[in-house]
């Protein structure tokens, strides 16, 4: 097990893979000085997002999704992730872009058939239903949010999936599954919430059956340049604000994920940087939030969701600066020797 340190915001992270959390800068309960350059959005958000330290990451994530999922579903549908909008392609709707994100991720890993999958951080089950329709597979979804698990179950029952799909509240870092259970281990935009990336990837590899595939689609920070030991302080400050609003612990880079995949014995590792391909997404989310339905929905959903909405421009800013990256990492567990 790698050494653990407390991130500046108090969450447990793996020291080796944290480039943002310099243990020398950690002060339990103390917030660092904010060093982000003054900007309209940032100065608006700063006093809001620095009101207090998030005490408990897991319960924060659960509450965040309990409170915000209904509005997201109403405005965007069953998929709670970025869309894939390649440059030069004809314009397409956001929901189609989200489906394309799933399809493109499968292509990276070369997945053409699935029998039994786990949907790690399943939201309201959009990926499970899509992939079950496509491949006829079973899926077991886990989320920290009781409301998401209930909603995922309700939609899937109503759509006639019967016992093919199941959803429960469980932690991705201690999955309630036997080892080697699934031929597809799927994590669509949940990795960024994981406070211990090493344990996260080791759980993904553990539940993957020999010959099976692990797909992680996630937010990362940029890969550090040679000689750099951490992000610049103004970059860390920007990520801190996003972390607080979206209940995220320390980030890592795609290179860190690649190393973790290798350390866990996964092979045929592929990575992609789709930061360009997702670039229209945050503008589209902000546009929906600014409709009258969006504004009313935000007010109804409450403060946690409003805080998330206020931080959206910072996500766009992070992508623009080249600080935030949208990455795919896939790998295969070697088949058992015959």
Strands 4-6 and 12-14: antiparallel
User: Is residue 121 involved in binding ligand SAM (CB under 6 A)?
Assistant: yes
Q: Is 126 in the site for ligand SAM (CB under 6 A)?
A: yes
Any long-range contacts for 231-238 (C-beta under 8 Å, 24+ apart)? 231/19, 231/20, 231/323, 233/35, 234/35, 234/36, 234/37, 235/321, 235/323, 236/8, 236/20, 236/32, 237/32, 237/34, 237/35, 237/36, 238/36, 238/42, 238/314, 238/317, 238/318, 238/321, 238/323
Residues 175, 181, 187, 192, Cα dihedral to 10° = 30
Return contacts of 111-115, CB within 8 angstroms, 24+ apart: 111/184, 111/213, 111/215, 114/183, 114/184, 115/183
Contacts with ligand SAM, 139-168, as mask; x by CB under 6 A:
---xxxx--x--------------------
Residue 172 is a binding residue for ligand SAM (CB under 6 A): yes
- Looking at the Cβ atoms of 61 and 215, the one nearer to ligand SAM is 61
* Interaction between residue 5 and ligand SAM (CB under 6 A): no
3-state secondary structure of 336: coil
The correct pick among 6, 12, 41, 173 for binding ligand SAM (CB under 6 A) is 173
The SS3 call for residue 36 is coil
Binding-residue total with ligand SAM (CB under 6 A): 23
Stretch that binds ligand SAM, among 5-13, 20-28, 118-126, 316-324 (CB under 6 A): 118-126
Q: Which is nearer to ligand SAM, 42 or 256 (CB)?
A: 256
Q: How far is the CB of 73 from ligand SAM (least distance, A)?
A: 10
Interaction with ligand SAM in 27-86: which residues (CB under 6 A)? 61, 65, 79-81
Q: How far apart are CA 192 and CA 252, in angstroms?
A: 8
- Binding to ligand SAM by CB under 6 A, coded x per residue (else -) over 245-284, reads ----------------------------------------
CB of 124 to ligand SAM, least distance (A): 7
Q: State the residues that interact with ligand SAM by CB under 6 A.
A: 61, 65, 79-81, 121-123, 126-127, 142-145, 148, 171-173, 188-190, 193-194
């Amino acid at each position: 097990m790698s050494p653990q340190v407390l991130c500046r915001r108090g969450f447990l992270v793996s020291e080796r893979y944290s480039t943002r959390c310099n243990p020398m800068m950690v002060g339990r309960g103390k917030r660092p000085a904010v060093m982000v350059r003054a900007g309209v959005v940032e100065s608006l958000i700063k006093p809001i997002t620095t009101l207090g330290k998030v005490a408990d990451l897991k319960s924060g994530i659960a509450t965040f999704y309990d409170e915000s999922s209904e509005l997201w579903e109403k405005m965007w549908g069953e998929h709670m992730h970025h869309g894939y909008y390649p440059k030069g392609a004809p314009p397409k709707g956001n929901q189609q872009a989200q489906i394309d994100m799933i399809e493109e991720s499968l292509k990276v890993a070369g997945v053409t058939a699935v029998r039994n999958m786990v949907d790690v951080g399943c939201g309201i089950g959009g990926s499970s239903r899509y992939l079950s329709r496509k491949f006829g597979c079973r899926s077991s979804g886990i989320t920290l949010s009781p409301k998401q698990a209930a909603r995922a179950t309700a939609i899937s029952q109503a759509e006639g999936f019967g016992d093919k799909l199941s959803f429960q509240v469980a932690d991705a870092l201690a999955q309630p599954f036997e080892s080697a259970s699934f031929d597809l281990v799927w994590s669509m935009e949940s990795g960024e919430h994981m406070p211990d990336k090493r344990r996260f990837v080791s759980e993904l590899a553990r539940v993957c059956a020999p010959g099976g595939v692990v797909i992680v689609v996630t937010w990362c920070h940029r890969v550090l340049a040679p000689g750099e030991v951490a992000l610049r302080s103004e970059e860390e400050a920007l990520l801190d604000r996003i972390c607080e609003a979206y209940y995220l612990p320390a980030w890592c880079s795609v290179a860190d994920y690649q190393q973790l995949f290798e350390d866990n014995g996964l092979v045929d590792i592929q990575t992609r940087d789709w930061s360009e391909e997702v670039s229209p997404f945050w503008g589209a989310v902000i546009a929906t939030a600014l409709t009258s339905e969006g504004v009313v929905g935000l007010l109804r959903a409450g403060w946690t969701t409003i805080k998330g909405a206020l931080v959206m421009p910072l996500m766009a800013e992070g992508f623009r600066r080249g600080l935030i990256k949208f990455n795919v990492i896939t790998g295969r567990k070697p088949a058992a020797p015959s």
